[in-house]
Amino acid sequence: MRNAWSSNVEEQVTEIWNSVLEVAEGEDGATFCELGGRAISAVRIVARIHDSLGIRVEPGELFKDPALDAFLSAVLVQAKPARQ
């Protein structure tokens, strides 16, 4: 169930994803790998998420299922313990 908190997290993570991967208009559905994502990109993304949101996510999450929606779900799962 989406609420204001999860929507805010999703929006910020999407902004970080777009910034690090330099997502151009029309590339919204492309996966991490299709956008040129590599290990260093994964490290940059998870570091910025931690710095901005205080959520720890392993870089490997970006390679398990490289779609943005799947990564957003993984971030939200990791964030739940931090909110309790």
pLDDT of residue 83: 56
Per-residue pLDDT of the chain (84 residues; tens, 9 = 90+): 568 889 999 999 999 999 999 997 767 789 999 999 999 999 999 999 999 999 999 999 999 999 999 999 999 999 875 554
Instruction: Taking each helix axis as running N to C, give the angle between helix 4-21 and helix 68-83, from 0 to 180 degrees, rounded to the nearest 10.
Output: 130
User: What is d(CA 47, CA 58) in angstroms, rounded to the nearest whole number?
Assistant: 9
pLDDT of residue 4: 87
Range of the domain at 8: 4-83
CATH classification at residue 64: 1.10.1200.10
**Number of folded domains in the chain?**
1
